[in-house]
Structure 1
Amino acid sequence: MKHYILLFLTSLLFISCGKETTSNRTKVNFGSDWTFTKDSTALNWEKVQLPHTAQVEPLIVNNQWQGDCWYQKKFDHPKTDDKVFLYFEGVMHEAWVWVNGELMTHHKGGYLPFTVDITDIVLPHDNTIIVKVNNQDNPQIPPGKTLKTLDFNYYGGIYRNVYLIQTNKTYITDAVHANKVNSGGILVNFNTIAKEKASGSVKIHVKNEDDKSKKVKASITFKNGSEAISFTTNEVTMEPNSNASLSQSVEILNPKLWGIENPNLYEVEVHLIADSKTIDSQTIQTGIRKAELKADGFYLNDEKVFINGTNRHQEYPYIGYALSDEANYRDAVKIKNAGFDFVRMSHYPQTESFMKACDELGLLVMNCISGWQFTGDEKFIENSYQEIRDLARRDRNHPSVVFWEVSLNESDMKEPYMKKANEILRGELPYANIYTAGWIDNPNYDLYIPARQHGKAPEYWNNYEKENRKIFIAEYGDWEYYAQNAGFNQTSYSNLKEEERTSRQLRAFGEKRLLQQAFNYQEAFNSNLKGKHTIGQANWLMFDYNRGYADDIESSGISDIFRIPKFAHYFYQSQRSPKVKLNEKLVSGPVIHIASYWNEKSPLDVTVFSNCEEVAFYVNDILISRQKPTISPFSNELPHPPFVFSIPKFEKGTLRAEGFINGKKVAEHSVKSANEPSKIVVSYDESTVKINPDFPDVVFVYATITDANGNLVSDATTEITFSIEGTDVELVGQNPFPAEAGMATILVRTTTFKKGIKIKATAKGLKEATLELKP
């Protein structure tokens, strides 16, 4: 009787809990009810949910945990004749998976998915999954470099989602698992794209693991809103234990093109049909867009675009890589809101939810394999080649991906490696609109992507003269200001700090140094625009992060590690045209920001970042001047140079800036001098994405110290204590935490979000504050 009850409850699980169901296919989020230990002999294992980090680290990670850890999950499964798979989105970075005591796979590589076929081992009840995970240094697994010499960290654990997938025995394969060149799963490609018509093909890889032959065909439907265009492939006879590829030419009239401002997407529904019945189906999301490298630049949908972007590491404070899908999506929103239309996935493949966000938000992507200043032995090279294959297969349908960085970043790649890496990518994607990128100026690559510091000051790459070659400045704004072009031996300069030069500025370092950082980025941006062969740029970088080799946070981000913007953030935001109108939830149109806290220490030359034609600037409602942008040798190429206003003397009160276009006021921003600290204001960041009600999520909560009137006290360092009330929720991070530039931050991690949460922030001498979050 007990087993019948378990089967019934498990059936309910498949019906209600994180499940995608289409025909005979179900996909269940398998992240709940795991146990975890670092000692496999321990009697009591900790209960955890996925995504999970093997160890919560301090804010500054100077001795990151490495070693073996173990995960276990027990589950029941309805008796079925179907195929059953476990799908792991990412495990860092070596994984052994046992099911019911049998070793099913040993996977190497921490940044891409793998699938485990458990069909022949799964039982109707009492199943046990055990996963051993190891993230110790391994020179054969890319990126291969030892953590103590690496410029980023690889945090251990099952840090991305796990799913249980059930299909018919005749089914559409997973592209990575199928491991077939230019095949596997669903592959969509449009080779002719115009406003009037787009034509291409859809390939569907099918396996028949039944003991009977099957006559199969596929129905394919492209959906965009109310529009639906359908196609049907020819029927193919599949013998038992065989595989086949179903191909279909497709043509869409007046396609809705995917672009930076209007990222139109199509849902592609594929139904596998046998004996007039749908036996399997999948839906993917893709876009139709035309990306071209031409003699005079980069074109998207036949319009020339200078690409303005950034770099991103997938790290959060404390929890490392174990971000929720929503947290990854929020990062993409922040990148778009900062004025960027491009992100380089430095220096490894990033999670599927972040890729999805780039598609939906209109962020162009440079997809990267794992690598940084390291080239290993033959086994390393073999694993790197496989990573190229897996990356192409996972991400080939993403319209956001315009460049494939099949290059070991800043590594001494040899000619055979570069040649083979490009051959592999082109074999997987043998299409005209596929472009490879490499940091070495080598003809195997379509695009040369040096970092700015790889060139000589002061010209850097402005005088690059190869007529048949385009360059993209893949990193700029940090290293050339940090070590004066000291080269790649960064560990030799790990303690170098030049306050008047470096772009590595924490928010705590104060107004003058944050302005210096913003000016560095402005100067480099302006310089990059002088290169006639430069098609775009990506600054280093979006968010502060931890490194394996350093005992401080790498602080060249235009936002800090808690995602709080620095002044440089607003410089970049101002470089987008005011004519651009994005989704109403995103920041676009006219913008203006005064880069000052306006206190006794503030510079009297006040910088205002704006994309307006004119700005009127007031001190305590007295007009200082109304002027056009300030043009100098460091701003004369910018789309929207900053405005600089000279104030005769400091007067406590209010700075106000009004932006005008065509003589009409279109934007306004004000900053008020703060009085004595009086109270705390608590807020949280959802960046247009609500907290997930059903699965684990993590959000930043900010406690801001203000005066009695609610003005930020920018030099406050008071220690703030956080507390929380609610179910399925916890605080993660240093607590109490001293305010940095007037703000203290903690992470709130939810398991589910079905009931309200109360977060309280208290500090000595300040009025406490409570934030209530309701589902």
Structure 2
Amino acid sequence: MNRRDFLKNSTTLAAATSIATTAVAQAAPRTTKGGRTILPINRGWRYNPKNPKGGTALAFDDAHFDKVVIPHTNVMLPWHSFDEATYTFVSLYRRELRIPASAAGKRVFVDFEGVMTASTVYLNGKKLGEYRGGFTPFSFELTDHINHAGRNVLAVEVDSTERADIPPFGNEIDYLTFGGIYREVNLRVVADTFLENIHARPIHVLTDAPKVEVECFLDRGPKSKPGALSLYAELRKGATVIAAATHTIEAPTVTPHHPQDADQAAGALPPVTPYPNSYTLTLEKLGKIDLWDLDHPNLYTVHVQLSENGAPIDEETRTIGFREAMFTDGGFSLNGKIIKLRGLDRHQTFPWVGQAMPARVQRQDAIILRRDLRTNIVRTSHYPQSRHFLDACDELGLLVLEEIPGWQHIGDKAWQDVAVDNVRRMVRRDWNHPSIVLWGVRINESRDNHDFYVRTNATAHALDTSRQTGGIRYFQESEFLEDVFTMNDFGFPLKPPIHGKYLNTEFVGHTFPTKTFDDLERLREHTIRHIRVHNQLWSDPQYAGGIGWCAFDYNTHGNFGSGDRICYHGVMDMWRTPKPAAGFYKSMCDPSEEVVIEPAFYWSRGDESTLFGDALISSNCDHLKIYIDYGKGFQLVGEVDPDRAKWDHLPYPPFNINLGKAVSDHWGDLRIDGYLKGKLALSKKYSGKGIDQAFVVLPDDTTLVADGADSTRVVLRCTDEFGAPRQFATEAIQFTLEGPAQIVGDNPFSLVAGTGAIWIRAGEAPGKVTLHAKHPHLGTQSVVFTLTPSVPELA
């Protein structure tokens, strides 16, 4: 097949790829020229938290079950102060399937992206097996159990208890896992022989002759007919074909592939040897390639077609980026340039629904980390996270350290087998993401276990030779089996690097929990603790950089956190609104990205034990002027340069100025003017009146898709007349919602430190939705959302 024919034949696939790359709503059904059909099955589920006896049978009457849409949490929870036992139970999900007539004679799989924690899957009452694991994808083949002439019902028993045989469990962990089918589900209809996976590896990217090695993994079913197979691959930038290659497999000797999840159910995990049914095509003579980097995350797509006897039987595509990323003895190098890493750890959990948030919300976290906090790396602590989040990291230029599920505890041999399988599934799901630069193959903060960690490293290296491995530990006296020594260090000063490739992966966090409503002295100290760590990290090139603990506050077990099931360890709260320490991370970006002035205080006279004194300000300006309006207009009360004497290694040190004398007798509005090279670059004002002046409602988006799952955050904020938050506002906001949507959150919702958020989740009917949010003193604010029609599910 020539390029023109392939482009013509794969139009549907290309459109679907574009949707998948930028999706914020549930994917549409798609069929390729080769016959592969992907059918989302996220709507139309029936749910019962009691798992009634006989509930998996085909004839069982589920009319009294709740109607739910995936992603789904097994129980809605308060945002704090609940018992984690509330969600640890076995529930039942059922869904009737409409198997298309075109599936006859083909193979049919059900693909789950994430179910917490163990899933026993049935079709028409027939048990297909159990998958153990909540953070990695799994599939079961339905082919031999489908009734093509009658009803088909898929049933899933979801065990959301903390089972000791499944990582990360076996001991108490410092986070909550929640429950339910919390990631998307698809039916996949394919030919008897199909493309099981694609690994597209850019190589020699910094030379004049970059290439892409496209390794294609085939799954050949038991009914395959003899015939010559051929593979055709293209590299595209948008719709432009850059290069193509063909590979012919004469007289194939492909070994039948047994579904790996059935292997796990049988207790025999697949080996870590290279996959036996793979073939590699090389795409070369690419011409000038646009590199993927932090500022220009250029993406390409690789399209592959599998043919039998000249006729297409399958097509697939992957998104890639050309970059050379490696940890060296002199730091982290991206495309030959040393970059100091500054990032934060992320838990993928949210108030009220745990982990059950759809694509738009998952992507928003990446936007917050990259654009609001200006970080350049995130660690997926402590498990593989949503593909939507990783897609957004690719598109935004946010580097990723991805790690396997775990927290300190290592179980027995069977437990370790599941953990090794987690490595395999994580790598094989995510090996095409250019944003991922390091595989975390050690259980977070666990003790040494030579044999186990030899296996996890060998698995990652056997599957992906293009990336290094790391292993998160909290003690330096550790056997070093990985490529990069990744270290949680909560002390200060930090321990000096003991290996050439050294990355700090947690600091501050639990040693200094801080709430948005804490007093000024604690908020300032929290900010300083992050500043001083990064200052030390910049002092030595052998520190590759640091990933702070952590981005967002998160729910945890009763033996951790602040006694209300929350760890207040984030530089943002659990609604993703900033604490002052967040301003420091933001201020570390180059002013060409954004000019930043972020005070590490709320402007109030008496919030310190000795009244207001030192004003700590995070900024990437080179000079600040401070003004106070005592009632007759703003008067200059001080000028200050970055505190390079104290923070001597940071590229943009914070500013510190004592304003005690300026406010000892009079108080007033504050103005901070920031200068770059002698020119005014930014000016910000803060009220000294101490009055709640305005109530604002700030949605992340106002257009949603009516698929029953698409959601967006709505930030609530009480401010002064200049838009700065009022820290002590705690009023209850009453909501009224008109139209086909629902509120995810409390109603009424009491502000926390003058702010907070709810989420709006679309229903399944298009139309207009109006949210009215009433503040008891400052009136009502309204937001109108447009729900656009969704693509119907066909299965």
2:175 to 143, 149, 152: 152
Instruction: Please say if 1:608 is aligned against 2:617.
Output: yes
Instruction: Please say if 1:127 is aligned against 2:152.
Output: yes
Find the aligned partners of 1:640 and 1:678 in 2 and give their Cα distance. 33
Look up the match of 1:304: 338
Instruction: Please say if 1:317 is aligned against 2:317.
Output: no
1:50 to 64, 70, 73: 70
Conservation of the 8 A alpha-carbon contact between 1:678 and 1:765: no
Instruction: Please say if 1:656 is aligned against 2:671.
Output: yes
Look up the match of 1:539: 548
Look up the match of 2:712: 699
Q: Deviations over 1:368-390 (max 9, x none)?
A: 01111101111111111111111
Instruction: Please say if 1:558 is aligned against 2:571.
Output: yes
2:46 maps to a residue whose letter is: T
Distance 1:434 1:62, change over 3 A: same
Distance 1:613 1:97, change over 3 A: same
Q: Which deviates the most, 36-45 or 530-539?
A: 36-45
2:66 maps to a residue whose letter is: E
Look up the match of 2:487: 450
Look up the match of 1:268: 302
Find the aligned partners of 1:84 and 1:478 in 2 and give their Cα distance. 46
Find the aligned partners of 1:437 and 1:52 in 2 and give their Cα distance. 32
2:727 maps to a residue whose letter is: S
SS of residue matched to 2:517: helix
Kindly report which structure 2 residues correspond to 1:681-700, keeping only aligned pairs within 5 A, or say none: 681-686=696-701, 691-694=704-707, 696-700=709-713
Find the aligned partners of 1:161 and 1:46 in 2 and give their Cα distance. 18
Look up the match of 1:376: 411
Look up the match of 1:41: 52
Find the aligned partners of 2:113 and 2:205 in 1 and give their Cα distance. 32
Q: Deviations over 1:238-260 (max 9, x none)?
A: 55985643321222332211111
1:512 to 521, 533, 555: 521
Q: Deviations over 1:162-196 (max 9, x none)?
A: 011112223111xxxxxxxxxxx111123322153
Conservation of the 8 A alpha-carbon contact between 1:721 and 1:762: yes
1:94 maps to a residue whose letter is: A
Look up the match of 1:109: 133
Find the aligned partners of 1:707 and 1:460 in 2 and give their Cα distance. 39
Look up the match of 2:7: none
Distance 1:96 1:458, change over 3 A: closer
Conservation of the 8 A alpha-carbon contact between 2:704 and 2:785: no
SS of residue matched to 2:779: coil
Instruction: Please say if 1:725 is aligned against 2:738.
Output: yes
Find the aligned partners of 1:749 and 1:451 in 2 and give their Cα distance. 37
Task: Report how far residue 542 of structure 1 moved.
Answer: 0.2
Look up the match of 2:395: 360
Kindly report which structure 2 residues correspond to 1:41-80, keeping only aligned pairs within 5 A, or say none: 41=52, 44-64=64-84, 65-79=87-101, 80=104
Kindly report which structure 2 residues correspond to 1:3-402, keeping only aligned pairs within 5 A, or say none: 18-23=28-33, 24-41=35-52, 44-64=64-84, 65-79=87-101, 80-124=104-148, 125-146=150-171, 149-173=172-196, 185-194=197-206, 196-209=208-221, 210-225=223-238, 227-237=240-250, 242=255, 244-251=277-284, 252-337=286-371, 338-402=373-437
SS of residue matched to 1:234: strand
Task: Report how far residue 428 of structure 1 moved.
Answer: 1.4
Find the aligned partners of 2:722 and 2:472 in 1 and give their Cα distance. 53
Look up the match of 1:598: 603
Conservation of the 8 A alpha-carbon contact between 2:640 and 2:656: no
Conservation of the 8 A alpha-carbon contact between 1:674 and 1:706: no
Distance 1:613 1:328, change over 3 A: same
Conservation of the 8 A alpha-carbon contact between 2:737 and 2:771: yes
Q: Which deviates the most, 608-617 or 369-378?
A: 608-617
Q: What residue ranges of structure 2 are gaps of 5+ in the alignment?
A: 1-15, 17-25, 54-61, 257-276, 788-795
Conservation of the 8 A alpha-carbon contact between 2:705 and 2:766: no
Task: Report how far residue 541 of structure 1 moved.
Answer: 0.3
1:288 maps to a residue whose letter is: F
Find the aligned partners of 2:74 and 2:575 in 1 and give their Cα distance. 21
Distance 1:110 1:669, change over 3 A: same
Task: Report how far residue 770 of structure 1 moved.
Answer: 1.9
1:666 maps to a residue whose letter is: A
Task: Report how far residue 619 of structure 1 moved.
Answer: 1.8
Conservation of the 8 A alpha-carbon contact between 1:195 and 1:255: no
Task: Report how far residue 673 of structure 1 moved.
Answer: 3.0
Q: Deviations over 1:89-141 (max 9, x none)?
A: 01111000101111112100110001111122223442100000002122221
Conservation of the 8 A alpha-carbon contact between 1:680 and 1:761: no
Task: Report how far residue 654 of structure 1 moved.
Answer: 3.0
Find the aligned partners of 1:525 and 1:679 in 2 and give their Cα distance. 36
**What is the identity percentage for the equivalent residue pairs of Structure 1 and Structure 2?**
27
Look up the match of 1:584: none
TM-score, structure 1 length as denominator? Answer: 0.87
1:308 maps to a residue whose letter is: R
SS of residue matched to 1:522: helix
Q: What residue ranges of structure 1 are gaps of 5+ in the alignment?
A: 1-13, 174-184, 483-501, 580-587
Distance 1:644 1:233, change over 3 A: same
Distance 1:725 1:658, change over 3 A: same
What is the alpha-carbon root mean square deviation over aligned residues? 2.4
Distance 1:17 1:355, change over 3 A: closer
Instruction: Please say if 1:669 is aligned against 2:680.
Output: no
Look up the match of 1:521: 530
Find the aligned partners of 2:656 and 2:715 in 1 and give their Cα distance. 31
Distance 1:459 1:570, change over 3 A: closer
Instruction: Please say if 1:477 is aligned against 2:511.
Output: no
Task: Report how far residue 678 of structure 1 moved.
Answer: 5.5
1:71 maps to a residue whose letter is: Y
Conservation of the 8 A alpha-carbon contact between 2:457 and 2:469: no
Task: Report how far residue 443 of structure 1 moved.
Answer: 3.2
Conservation of the 8 A alpha-carbon contact between 2:604 and 2:690: no
Look up the match of 2:266: none
Look up the match of 1:618: 627
Find the aligned partners of 1:17 and 1:409 in 2 and give their Cα distance. 33
Instruction: Please say if 1:742 is aligned against 2:754.
Output: yes
Conservation of the 8 A alpha-carbon contact between 2:492 and 2:533: no
Conservation of the 8 A alpha-carbon contact between 1:53 and 1:159: yes
Distance 1:458 1:765, change over 3 A: closer
Find the aligned partners of 1:570 and 1:410 in 2 and give their Cα distance. 29
Q: Deviations over 1:247-274 (max 9, x none)?
A: 2122233221111111111111111123
Conservation of the 8 A alpha-carbon contact between 1:217 and 1:246: no
Distance 1:690 1:674, change over 3 A: farther
Distance 1:449 1:245, change over 3 A: closer
Distance 1:593 1:276, change over 3 A: same
1:260 maps to a residue whose letter is: L
Find the aligned partners of 2:551 and 2:765 in 1 and give their Cα distance. 29
TM-score, structure 2 length as denominator? Answer: 0.85
Q: Deviations over 1:192-232 (max 9, x none)?
A: 22153312411112234344222221221111135422323
Q: Deviations over 1:453-498 (max 9, x none)?
A: 2xxx543223x344xx32111101224xx2xxxxxxxxxxxxxxxx
